[in-house]
Every structure is written in C-alpha cells, then in structure tokens.
C-alpha cells in the first residue's frame, strides 16, 4: 500500500512537470514565433509576412504532438510524453529548416527560444536520462543541420547549448544530491523508529517470559534432584530453558543502549572463557581454533560479562559458517600506541554475500535455518556501548574476518 501511494506521488509530480513543460513550451513557441517573424517585421515596416519553411502549416503540425500529449495525459500514460513531444518537435523543426534553407543562399538563423527552454527546464523532470536525451537531441540537431547545409553558423547555437546544458546538468546534479541526502535522513529515521518499536515490544515480551521461565527451570531442577537416574531428559530440558533465556536476554537489547559498569578485566581470560563455552560445538563440527596473542596485554576497561557475550556470538558464527569443519584464527594485539585493542576472528567458512553485508546486525536478519538473527545486533550494541568498533570483511566461499577494536582505557 505504501509503495502504491509513493508511486501515486511520483505520478502526480511527473504530471505537474509535464503540464508546466507543455504550457511554457507552447506559450513561448507561438508567442515568440509570431512576434519574431510577423509582428516584428510588421512594426519594422517590412512587407514580408511569410516565415518560409513550413510556413503556417508548422503551427498546425505542432498541434499534433500537443493533442497526442493531452490525450496521453487524460489516459494516464504520462511518463513518455516528454520524450515523444521533444522528438516530434525536433523532427518537425528539422523538416522546417531543410525546406527553408536547402537550395537557398540564406544563412542559417541561429538558436530558438523554445530550445533554450527545453534545455534549461530539463531538470524539472529530475531524470538524468531525459536530460541527456534533450541535450544530445538539440545539439545533435544543429550538428546535423551544419553537416547538411554546410553552414558554419551552427557553431554559435552549439556552443550556446553546450554551456546551457552544463548549467542545467549542474542544477540537476544538485537536485539529485539534495534528494539523496533527504532520503538518507528519512531512511535513517525510519530505521531508528522501527528499532524503537521492536525494542519496546521485545522488552515487554521478554519481561513476561522471564518469570514463568525461571519457575520452569526451578521446578525442572527440583525434579532432577528428586528423581535422579529416572531419565536423562532433565539436562536437555534445562539446557533448552537456558537457550530460551539467552534469546530473551538478546531480545532485551534491541534498540536500547545500556549503561556499562566499566571494570578492569583480562582479555586473555575473556577469550579463554569464550573458547571453553564454544569448545564442544567446535569439536562436534571438526573446527580447530588457533589463538595468537601478541605480548602481554594490558587490562581492559569493560563489562566482562558483556564482552564474553560478544566473543561467544562471534566465535559461534565462525563455527556455524564451517559445517564441514575448518580453522578459526583469533588474534589479539595492542594498536594505536597502546590506546586500543584489536581482536580479530577469522574463519574459513561460507562467507557473506555482498547483498547481505548491509543487513548484518539488523534484528532478526539471519540466513540460518534455526538462527535468531540477534547475535550480531547484540554484539554491535555492546561494542557501541564500549565505544569500540566492529568491521566485517568477507569473501564468499573463502571466509570471514571480524575485527573488533576496543579502547583500552575508558574515558567517561
Ligand atoms: P544468527 O547467527 O542467529 O543467524 P547473527 O546476528 O549472529 O544471527 O548473524 C546474522 C547473519 O550474519 C548470519 O545468519 C549469517 O548469515 C551472517 N554471518 C555472521 N557471521 C558470519 C560468519 N562468520 N560467516 C558467515 N556468515 C556470517
Ligand atoms: Mg549468531
């Protein structure tokens, strides 16, 4: 529905532009021609009333494309009108000129006011294709006339129209850039708004799920203790409840920056902990992990629990990208004169398609059958809260490298 209404708006804008163009064109065309060829000569005392060429039939001929345009406006087929009208005008004009000059020794009269209008007003359609169509069509007409009539006089209008085209193109490019920046701002706002709404909903639902889940987990543990050895489903039930819990935790993050309680922690320990958590999954999938830590690392200002979450997400993604097994390389080093820490996680997995790169970190964006699409969103959020940066480079079918850069000392 939205799309339809957007199209309607575009349609209305194009219609306005077409009507404006047709009115101005015809006004100038008839008023100018009548003044130039008839009134002027009459006032000047000349007896010549014929303009030569197609003469009066020119005006009747020019009514044809106008009728066609009005008919199409009524029918609602408006996007081709400008092209058709200009093409018809140029063709009629060429014929008019040929009749007027071929076989005579008259010099080619330069420039036509409606052509100036066409070029200068081309930007009102905010359409680069149409602009080039106009500029090439009109300048091309003069080149053609010059060649046929072997008349050097065409050089003046060609130069004039080149300059005018330059001006019109500049205006058009400004229009485009202005419109682009407006749409960028609009998209950004829309995204923020969407995130805020999803965030509120997710937080409300998450909150409601938490309490019954805590009860469920408590009772399951209670049952397990009361009836040990009765069945081996209890650990699976508890594990699954924990999984729901961690999804709920992730949901609570959407669109909501958190206040971090910064404390000093060791990045080596955080990574080691993360690896212990993900080890089982890695082994199951035949993934080996290699860690390269450059030198002794300074303690890092962070909220340890959250950074653990970040690296669990990233390492899990790396493991999941290699269903046939492979190698993960984790490198940690100090950069930027001991101000920042770079942690890079490189896998040899399936990689990320170009069209998906922009979606990374959007809530619920996932390409996995049972993915939630919350991992990178939470990761981004936590790293933002730590005033850090995350950069993802990926080559399809070769692998992905995620660089996380964190300031070592937090300045509040
Ligand atoms: P989930 O893991 O639940 O799908 P994430 O937010 O963690 O959600 O990841 C979103 C998507 O980004 C994944 O579904 C996957 O397509 C892509 N992705 C993330 N990390 C990697 C990686 N290391 N290799 C390939 N694709 C990745
Ligand atoms: Mg994930």
pLDDT band of 45, cuts 50, 70, 90 = low
Asked if residue 277 and residue 236 are part of one domain, the reply reads: no
Average pLDDT over residues 214-237: 88
**pLDDT for the residue 46:** 57
Please give the residue range of the domain that contains residue 237: 192-255
* CB-ligand 1 contact for 254 (6 Å cutoff): no
Pairwise CA distance, residues 58 & 87, whole Å: 15
Atom of ligand 1 nearest to the CA of 316: 2
Asked if residue 387 and residue 267 are part of one domain, the reply reads: yes
Nearest CA owner, ligand 1 atom 14: 366
Q: How far is CA 259 from CA 194, 303, 385, in A?
A: 22, 10, 7
Q: Does the residue 180 lie in any domain?
A: no
Pocket residue to mutate for ligand 1, from 249, 318, 366, most atoms within 8 A of Cβ: 366
Atom of ligand 1 nearest to the CA of 371: 3
Pocket residue to mutate for ligand 1, from 311, 350, 354, 376, most atoms within 8 A of Cβ: 376
Asked if residue 145 and residue 74 are part of one domain, the reply reads: yes
Q: How far is the CA of 317 from the centre of ligand 1 (A)?
A: 5
Q: φ and ψ at 92, to 5 degrees? A: -65, -40
Cβ neighbours for 139, distance < 8 A, ≥ 6 positions apart:
158, 161, 162, 165
Encode pLDDT of 228-269 as tens digits.
877 778 888 998 999 899 888 888 887 677 788 999 999 999
Q: How far is CA 407 from CA 307, 341, 387, 390, in A?
A: 13, 6, 7, 12
Pairwise CA distance, residues 77 & 393, whole Å: 46
Pairwise CA distance, residues 135 & 144, whole Å: 14
Encode pLDDT of 96-140 as tens digits.
988 888 878 777 776 788 999 999 999 999 999 999 999 999 999
Asked if residue 249 and residue 267 are part of one domain, the reply reads: no
**Spatial CA neighbour of 329 closest among 291, 297, 282, 361:** 291
We report the CATH number of the domain holding residue 327 as 3.30.565.10
Asked if residue 204 and residue 78 are part of one domain, the reply reads: no
CB 332 within 8 A of CB 293: yes
Total number of domains in the chain: 3
Q: How far is the CA of 275 from the centre of ligand 1 (A)?
A: 18
* CB-ligand 1 contact for 349 (6 Å cutoff): yes
pLDDT band of 214, cuts 50, 70, 90 = very high
Encode pLDDT of 349-380 as tens digits.
999 999 999 899 888 899 999 899 999 999 99
* Global model pTM greater than 0.75: no
Query: Which residue, 206, 224, 255, sits at the end of a domain?
Result: 255
Q: Does the residue 157 lie in any domain?
A: no
């Amino acid at each position: 529905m939205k799309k339809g209404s957007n199209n309607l708006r575009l349609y209305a804008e194009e219609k306005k532009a077409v009507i404006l163009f047709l009115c101005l064109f015809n006004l100038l065309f008839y008023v100018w021609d009548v003044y130039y060829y008839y009134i002027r000569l009459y006032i000047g005392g000349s007896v010549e009333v014929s303009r030569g060429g197609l003469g009066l039939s020119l005006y009747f001929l020019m009514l044809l494309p106008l009728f066609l345009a009005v008919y199409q406006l009524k029918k609602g087929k408006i996007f081709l009108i400008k092209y058709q009208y200009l093409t018809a005008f140029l063709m009629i004009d060429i014929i008019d000129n040929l009749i007027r000059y071929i076989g005579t020794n008259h010099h080619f009269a330069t420039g036509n006011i409606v052509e100036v209008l066409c070029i200068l007003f081309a930007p009102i359609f905010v359409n680069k294709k149409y602009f080039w169509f106009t500029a090439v069509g009109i300048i091309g007409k003069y080149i053609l006339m010059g060649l046929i009539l072997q008349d050097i006089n065409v050089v003046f209008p060609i130069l004039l129209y080149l300059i005018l085209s330059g001006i019109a193109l500049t205006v058009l490019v400004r229009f485009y850039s202005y419109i682009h920046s407006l749409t960028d701002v609009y998209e950004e706002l829309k995204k923020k708004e969407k995130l805020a709404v999803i965030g509120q909903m997710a937080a409300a639902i998450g909150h409601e799920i938490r309490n019954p889940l805590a009860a469920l987990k408590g009772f399951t543990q209670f049952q397990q203790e009361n009836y040990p050895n009765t069945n081996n489903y209890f650990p699976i039930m508890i594990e699954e409840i924990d999984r729901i819990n961690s999804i709920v935790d992730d949901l609570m993050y959407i669109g909501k920056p958190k206040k971090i309680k910064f404390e000093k922690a060791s990045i080596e320990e955080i990574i080691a902990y993360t690896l212990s958590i993900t080890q089982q999954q890695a082994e199951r999938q035949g993934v080996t992990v290699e860690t390269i830590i450059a030198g002794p690392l300074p303690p890092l200002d962070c909220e340890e629990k959250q950074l653990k979450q970040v690296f669990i997400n990233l390492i899990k993604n790396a493991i999941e990208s290699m269903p046939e097994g492979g190698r993960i390389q984790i490198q940690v080093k100090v950069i930027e004169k001991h101000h920042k820490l770079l942690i890079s996680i490189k896998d040899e997995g399936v990689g990320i398609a170009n069209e998906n790169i922009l979606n990374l970190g959007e809530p619920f964006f996932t390409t996995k059958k049972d993915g939630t699409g919350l991992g990178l969103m939470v990761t981004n959020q936590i790293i933002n809260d730590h005033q850090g940066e995350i950069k993802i480079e990926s080559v399809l079918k070769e692998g992905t490298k995620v660089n996380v850069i964190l300031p070592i000392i937090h300045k509040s």
